[in-house]
């Protein structure tokens, strides 16, 4: 069974919509993620290099 990673309330600002007035100003975008990952290697080794980097995941979402 995969491990569960949860990132809550990641707040971004971006252009959303198709109407011209919607595309003029950035709007708040609130993202909640639930990811599945196999983290056994990190648990077995207790090495940070084997762990999932939440910051990297969040940066990828923002990009």
> What is the Cα–Cα distance from 24 to 16, expressed in whole angstroms?
9
Report pTM. 0.67
Asked if residues 29 and 12 have their Cβ atoms less than 8 Å apart, the reply is yes
Give me the domains of the chain, ranges plus CATH numbers: 3-62 (3.30.1130.10)
What is the pLDDT, as a whole number, of residue 45?
Answer: 96
Judged by DSSP in three states, 40 sits in helix
> Could you report the average pLDDT of every consecutive run of 10 residues in the chain (63 residues)?
90 93 93 93 92 90 88
């Amino acid at each position: 069974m995969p491990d569960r990673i949860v990132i809550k309330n990641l707040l971004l600002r971006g252009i959303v919509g198709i109407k011209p007035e919607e595309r003029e100003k950035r709007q708040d975008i609130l993202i909640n993620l639930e990811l599945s990952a196999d983290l056994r290697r990190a648990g077995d080794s207790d090495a940070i290099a084997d762990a999932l980097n939440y910051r990297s995941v969040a940066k990828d979402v923002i990009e």
